[in-house]
Amino acid sequence: MTNIVVVGNGMVGYKFCASLLKQTQEQQPDGGRLRLTVFGEEPRPAYDRVHLSRYFSGTPADELAMAPATWYADNGIDLRTSTCITHIDREARTVTTHTGEVVNYDALVLATGSAPFVPPVTGVQKDGIFVYRTIEDLEAMTAWGNRATKAVVIGGGLLGLEAAKAALDMGLETHVVEFAPRLMPRQLDAAGGEMLRRKIESLGIGIHLNKNTAEFLGYDCVTGLRFADDSVLETDMVVISAGIKPRDELARQSGLAVGPRGGIVVNDYLQTSDPNIFAIGECALHNSMIYGLVAPGYDMATVVARQLTSGRGGVKFTGFDLSTKLKLIGVDVASFGDPFCEQTPHRTLLFEDMLTGVYKRLNISPDGKQLLGGILVGEAESYNMLLQACKNRVVLPETPEDLLMPPRKGDSTPALAGVMSLPDEAIICSCEGISKAIVCTAVTGQELTDVAALKKCTKAGTGCGGCIPMLNDLISETLKEQGKFVRKVLCEHFDHTRQELYDLVRINGETTYADVLAHYGHGTGCEVCKPAVASILASIHNDLIARQATVQDTNDRFLANIQRGGTYSVVPRVAGGEITADKLIALGVVARKYDLYCKITGGQRIDLFGARVDQLPLIWDELIAAGFESGHAYGKALRTVKSCVGSAWCRFGVQDSVGFAIEIEERYKGLRAPHKLKGGVSGCVRECAEAQSKDFGIIATEKGWNLYVCGNGGAKPQHAQLLASDIDRETCIRYLDCFLMFYVKTAEPLTRTATWLNKLEGGMAYLKSVVIDDVLGLNAQFEADMQHVVNTYQCEWKSVVDNDTLRSQYRHFVNTSDTDDTLAFVTNERGQKQPTNWLND
């Protein structure tokens, strides 16, 4: 039995455990040959620190977990959370916990990571000053941020800008202070740093460069920063993200060799000065280098796992490429290879577009044949292929400047050969060390057709996610080489994709599901194709969806959401969240008359729960008389356009967000789509309407409006991406018309805009070319189609109320008008009714 002890359960510690399991399973060892014990200081298992800022966007801590606690137990790993190792006895080969427990080891792996570097500045202990490292740090920041108004982040590197995004997500006025003369000084040159500064400042974040903090002001709580030049920046919250320092205190205490500036010294086998002790991740100093990225730590974890299972003296760690691509506060930033080439002969190619905020630098060999490195700011679509060209020494084209530019119109020849031209050993996913050969073999051998399946099979793309576009290309090209073409047909009853069916119906004009099935399908249909076809018909003709009741689910059939207990909710439209006192009174009268539960929704309107199906037309009748109409809360349609109070009331507002939100919601109300749509309009960059978490979001600027698209909240939140900036209202609406109709025509069933964009070939760059540049030549048609939707709008509730045939469908039993006497309710502790919890009865 070999006892292996791991100190540290961060991402790298977890990766070591996973790699060790994989190695032992591949070698089919006799059961029980290894005993693995893992100690972690934090109260939870390892979680994803790379995407820590998602916590502020609503992602629960559990969803950030690398694996649940049960995974460790199921694999025979003894995980001890909330446990510190205080002593290593190298002679006895034991570690001692803070509770005094002594555990033996044959091999010890130190994965203690790093701690935030906190500069020794006077007043740093004051309340309101935080570091940005753990979920507990984020929880403390959130609690303090609820009462703060202004946050200052010290540090303009990767972590600092992530922390600034977190502060911005909390709705705080945000500033970044950097000691160096530019942002991200380790990744960007002066011009790239300047472009990044401009982009970030345009989002409302203040940038202060060449600033050395001398003192934190305030008594108990921080009130400001005084810099070495005696200037002062007032604030009531500070986040320090000025770098990291390796956690090497255990190594120092036990007499292991450490570097002069910290870090546990390791050799190429990742052994410390004690051959039975290894160090991996940010605590390890290899060839005088501390690696602050997760991918090198993963590589180290794999090397040590192989050392311990295959015999020492085999595989080595020889260093790691620090190329990286990130999206910082919505801005693409990437550097690869040697971004500066300070010591290497080279030629430099530059592209700079101040209007769009794009900067690109490529360093090539003097003979122009090899790519040595580069920097990308504002647009990094070509990062993956440029990185592979650099790492695999791909011969460049005769005109390497073409690498800086997108393909010209009509030019089908890319500047670089495609992904299939890369050698088999090319590493596509650096986080997991997955090569092109592994990906292609998995696609052919396991008959995989999408990235989701590839992730499960190989783990490729499960780290930072930067390789996903290239994985998509590899899957597509590998399938093409096999003579396969993957078409996502609607279901077994239709041999067409949704887009193909949409085009057929639009051209030939079918108006019922029966006609569509007869002309283009076979069989009797199913629960997949029926609502999808009904949605297509509604999107094209904008006819009353209730007429397609036989192929709809319950919600669309009765134009209301069925709730627990069998009752329905009624959600009238409150455009932009603006409502009169008379309408508020009318809602109260209706709620009291029909004994309905009242709840203000997250989309700024009022939800009335507990209506019987036979009561729905009666309730709608009264609400319509009061000036309300259907809010489409039941449909795959526009739900709400949320707004702040804007310049009408707010002292920070620069545009009329309420008026614009109402105009937008009135325009697109009733628009049927592959999935629900939500919008938001904020009157300034403080973003109180949370527009960047919506399918489309509009944020006011001094010059007009910034238009963001393809975000969503919910279980998998994703920030919207900037489509156009500083545009006027008319242009914004025109772009929205084209964007929404392009989505409606091309998305798969039940696909949100965020997922649609993630799957769209060419991504945001292609979407901009369609919507803004009209490369498809369809924008006039898109605008005409949207105008048809606007012109033919009808309130679905009123259409039912005014139609005796449709109204007669609203009863619980098909053969009698009796009501359902089995509905049961209770009164909750707040005096509101709710359904009886039958699960507990």
Q: What share of the chain is helix, strand, coil (3-state, %, to 5)?
A: 35, 20, 45
Among residues 657, 703, 665, 661, the alpha carbon closest in space to that of 682 is found at: 657
Which residue, among 576, 550, 110, has the nearest Cα to 304 in the 3D structure? 110
Per cent of the chain over pLDDT 90 is 52
Is 467 annotated to bind ligand?
no
Structure-token match 């109204």, residue found: 807
| Type of residue found at 765 | A
Give residue 455's pLDDT band: very low, low, confident or very high (50, 70, 90).
confident
pLDDT score recorded for residue 53: 74
CA 654, CA 262: separation in Å to the nearest integer?
Answer: 49
Question: Which residue has better confidence, 796 or 452?
Answer: 796
pLDDT value of position 839 = 44
650 is in an annotated binding site: yes
pLDDT for the residue numbered 486: 65
Torsion of CA 41, 259, 280, 427, to 10 degrees: 140
- Tell the residue number behind the tokens 């994703």, with chain if given: 718
**Which of 357-361, 367-371, 548-552, 792-796 shows the lowest mean pLDDT across its residues?**
548-552
Write the pLDDT tens digit of every residue in 630-684. Answer: 999 988 999 999 999 999 899 889 999 999 999 999 999 989 999 999 999 999 9
* Strand (E) or helix (H) holding 336: strand 331-337
For the chain, the average pLDDT equals: 88
**Among 422-426, 598-602, 631-635, 787-791, where is mean pLDDT lowest?**
422-426
| Residue 769 confidence (pLDDT) | 92
Query: By the 8 A CB rule, do 294 and 50 touch?
Result: yes
Amino acid at 511: T
Q: What pTM value is reported for the model?
A: 0.60
Q: Is 598 marked as a binding-site residue?
A: no
pLDDT digits (tens, 9 = 90+) for 162-199: 888 888 878 899 999 999 999 999 889 999 999 999 98
> Is pLDDT above 50 for 471?
yes
Q: Specify the residue for token string 């921080």.
A: 222
The pLDDT of 499-516, averaged and rounded, is: 89
Is the Cα dihedral 830, 835, 840, 841 positive or negative?
Answer: positive
Residue % of the chain over a pLDDT of 70: 94
The helix or strand, by DSSP H or E, that contains position 441, with its residue range, turns out to be helix 436-445
Q: What domains lie within the chain, and their CATH numbers?
A: 2-115+246-310 (3.50.50.60), 118-242 (3.50.50.60), 420-486 (1.10.10.1100)
Model confidence band, residue 24 (pLDDT cutoffs 50, 70, 90): confident
232: pLDDT strictly greater than 60:
yes
Least confident among 219-228, 275-284, 606-615: 606-615
Query: Which residues does residue 642 pair with via DSSP β-bridges, in sequence order?
Result: 680
Q: How far apart are CA 156 and CA 383, in angstroms?
A: 22
Q: Has 688 been labeled as part of a binding site?
A: yes
| Strands in 388-514 per DSSP E | 427-429, 434-435
Contact in structure between 296 and 464 (CB atoms under 8 Å): no
- Residue-level pLDDT at 285: 96
pLDDT tens-digit map of 74-96: 999 999 999 999 999 999 999 99
CB 610 within 8 A of CB 578: no
CA distance 71 to 65: 11
Provide long-range contacts, Cβ within 8 A and 24+ apart, for 656-662: 656/683, 657/681, 657/682, 657/683, 657/689, 657/698, 657/700, 658/576, 658/577, 658/578, 658/683, 659/576, 660/698, 660/705, 660/729, 661/575, 661/576, 661/577, 661/689, 661/698, 662/575, 662/576, 662/578
Residue 583 pLDDT greater than 90, yes or no = yes
Distance between CA atoms of residues 94 and 102, nearest Å: 6
> What digits encode the pLDDT tens for the residues 237-281?
999 998 889 999 999 999 999 999 999 999 999 999 999 999 999
Who has greater pLDDT, 787 or 55?
787
- Mean pLDDT computed over 757-767: 85
For 516-563, what is each residue's pLDDT tens digit? 999 999 888 887 888 888 888 888 888 776 666 555 566 777 788 888
pLDDT of amino acid 312: 56
Res. 715 pLDDT band, cuts 50 70 90: low
pLDDT score at 810: 82
Do residues 434 and 459 touch, judged by C-beta distance below 8 A?
yes
When pLDDT is cut at 50, 70 and 90, the band that residue 841 belongs to is: very low
CA-closest candidate to residue 64, choices 8, 139, 121: 139
| Cβ neighbourhood burial of 529 (10 Å; 0-12, 13-18, 19+) | buried
Whether residue 214 is predicted with pLDDT greater than 50 in this model: the reply is: yes
pLDDT of residue 31: 47
DSSP string, 224-289: EEEETTS-EEE-SEEEE-S-EEE--HHHHHTT--B-TTS-EEE-TT-B-SSTTEEE-GGGEEETTB
pLDDT of residue 410: 41
The pLDDT score that the predictor gives to residue 373 is 92
Q: Give the other-Cβ count within 10 Å of 49's Cβ.
A: 18
Q: Is 498 exposed, middle or buried (0-12, 13-18, 19+ CB in 10 A)?
A: buried
Are 386 and 321 in contact by the 8 Å Cβ rule? The answer is no
- For the segment 192-215, the average pLDDT, to the nearest whole number, is 92
CA of residue 551 relative to chain centroid, distance: 34
Which residues make Cβ contacts (< 8 Å) with residue 529, sequence separation at least 6? 490, 491, 493, 494, 517, 521
pLDDT score of 477 more than 60: yes
Report residue 679 as tokens.
Answer: 């919008």
Task: Please tell me the predicted confidence (pLDDT) of residue 485.
Answer: 66
The DSSP H or E segment spanning 753 is helix 753-759
**Which span out of 51-60, 457-466, 727-736 was modeled with the highest average pLDDT?**
727-736
**What is the reported pLDDT for 593?**
94
pLDDT at 813 over 80: no
Reference 192, options 300, 342, 340, 8; nearest CA is 340
Q: What is the reported pLDDT for 739?
A: 97
Choose the most confident range, by mean pLDDT, from 25-29, 329-333, 594-598: 594-598
At residue 255, the pLDDT reads: 96
CA-based nearest residue to 79, from 125, 36, 123: 36
* Predicted local confidence at residue 323, as pLDDT: 81
